[in-house]
Amino acid sequence: MTHFPEPLELFPPSRAAALDRLAEFVPRAGRSYAAQRNADPGPGRKPNVSMLSPYLRHRLLTEHEVIAAVLEQHSANQAEKFIQEVFWRTYWKGWLQMRPKVWMDFLAERDADRSRAQSNSGLARALDQAESGRTGIDCFDDWARELVATGYLHNHARMWFASIWIFTLKLPWALGADFFLRHLLDADPASNTLSWRWVAGIQTRGKTYLARPDNIEKYTDGRYRPTGLAQQADPIRDEAPYPRQRLEKLPAVPSDRPALLLAHGDDLGAQAVLESGLDLRAALVVAGGHGQSPWPFGDKAQSFVRAACADTATELGERLKVMVGRIDRLEAETIAERARQAGVEIVVTPEAPVGPLVAGLAQLEMALGENGITLQRVRSAWDEQAWPHAVKGFFPFKQNIPKLLEQASLI
C-alpha cells in the first residue's frame, strides 16, 4: 500500500514555509530544472520541480519575488524554462480575464454533466471508478489516489491523467476539470479549466494531447507502461473561438482617505494594496467566498486556505500595526461593521481574477454600497503589465517575457 503524505505536511500553509521552499529550490531552477522537470518520481516531495504552486496560486508568494530569487543565482537564459512555467499561470489568468464567458460556460457544462450522471448509472459508475482509482489502468489509478490523498499532482501527470480521462475512458472533460478543482490545493479556475480544454482540443482549435505509453514509461522511470490507452485523440468538438473583451480599467483608490484592507484566498499577500501607500486602519482576512459563490471547492484546499489565512493575519498585524480579523466568508454585514469600527468608508481588496471569488466580490460590492461603504479593487503591477499580452496563444505571449521582466525591474 502506497503511503501518501498529508497535504499540510507536503505544503505547510505559511509564508515562512513558502520562502523556505523557494530558497531550497532556487539552486535547481536553472539547467537542472530544464533537464528534469518532466519526470514524475512518484508521491511526496518531487525534488526536480519547485512544488511552489499552492503558494503562488494563493499568492503567499508573488510571481515577482519567485523570479527575482531565481535570477539572483541564474541568468534569464539558464532559468528560461522555469520562468516560462511561472508565466504560464499569468498567461492563463490574463486570457480568461478577457474571456470570462469561458468560465461560466464551463460551470454550466459541468452542472449539465453532473445531472446526466445522476440519471445514467453507467456514467455514474465509470466516474466513481475513475475518481476512486479503480479503472484498472495502474498509472491513472495511482494518480487519482495521489491527488485525493495529497492535493497535488506533478504537471506532467495532470496532462496524462486528463488525456486518459477524456480519450481512453471517454468521460466528460468538465467533470474531470471539476475533479481537479475539488482536490488540488493549487486549483485555479484559469489554469485548470483552460488546461483541460487544451487537452480536449477545444482551447487551441484542433490541438489535443495524447497520453502515450512510451512517454509515461520514460518520465516515470519505468514504473508504468500502461496498455489499452487511446491510440488517437480527436478534438471532442469543433468550437468557435470566444470573443475577447477589453480588460477593465480599475479606478484609483483615493490616497487621502483611510481604508480597511480585505485580503482573500486569491491574493493573501495583498502586496499591491500594501505597496500602494494607502492609510490602512484595519484589515480582514477572509478564508472563503460569498454564500452564493462558495469557495474553496474541496476540503483539503479549504484547510490549506484557512491555515494560510491565520498565518496571513499574524503577518499583517505585525506589518501594519493595526487590528486584523479573520472571517470565513464574504459577509457584507460583518465587513461593514468592521469598517465602521475602524472609522473608514472604503474597503480595499486585491483584484480577484475570473472565478468564484470575483463573483463573490461583485455581490459584496453591491451589499456594501447599500451600507454607504465603497469596495475598491487593486490590480497588481504584475497582472497589469502581463495580462494585456494574453490575446492569442502562449507562444506569442512568451515573446513578451523579456520585456515584462524588464518592466518588473528583474533584468
Per-residue pLDDT tens for 216-264?
999 999 999 999 999 999 999 999 999 999 999 999 999 999 999 999 9
- Single-letter residue type at 303: S
242 in a domain, yes or no? no
116 with 149, same domain?
yes
278 in a domain, yes or no? yes
87 with 152, same domain?
no
236 in a domain, yes or no? no
Q: Is the pLDDT of residue 66 over 90?
A: yes
90 with 168, same domain?
no
12 with 93, same domain?
yes
The CATH number of the domain where 329 resides is what?
Answer: 3.40.50.620
Query: Residue 103: what pLDDT?
Result: 98
| Domain-terminating residue out of 160, 192, 219 | 219
Computed over every residue of the chain, the mean pLDDT equals 97
| Domain-terminating residue out of 201, 219, 237 | 219
Task: Give residue-wise pLDDT tens across range 311-341.
Answer: 999 999 999 999 999 999 999 999 999 999 9
Query: Residue 1: what pLDDT?
Result: 65
313 with 279, same domain?
yes
Give the pLDDT band (50/70/90) at residue 129.
very high
Task: Give residue-wise pLDDT tens across range 181-218.
Answer: 999 999 999 999 999 999 999 999 889 999 999 999 99
Taking CA atoms, 282 is separated from 260, 317, 346, in Å, by 5, 9, 11
183 with 198, same domain?
yes
Query: Residue 293: what pLDDT?
Result: 86
Query: Could you write out the DSSP letters of every residue in 52-106?
Result: -HHHHHTTSS-HHHHHHHHHTTS-TTTTHHHHHHHHHHHHHHHHHHT-THHHHHH
pTM for this entry: 0.97
135 with 41, same domain?
no
Q: Is the pLDDT of residue 372 over 90?
A: yes
How do 346-350 and 323-327 pair as beta strands?
Answer: unpaired
39 with 87, same domain?
yes
28 with 123, same domain?
no
210 with 276, same domain?
no
| Domain-terminating residue out of 204, 219, 234 | 219
132 in a domain, yes or no? yes
Cα–Cα distance, 305 to 204 (Å, whole number)? 32
Task: Give residue-wise pLDDT tens across range 264-292.
Answer: 999 999 999 999 999 999 999 999 999 88
Mean pLDDT of 362-389: 97
360 with 272, same domain?
yes
354 with 264, same domain?
yes
Residues spanned by the domain of 62? 7-97+387-407
How do 280-286 and 259-263 pair as beta strands?
Answer: parallel
Query: Residue 292: what pLDDT?
Result: 86
Q: How many domains does the chain have?
A: 3
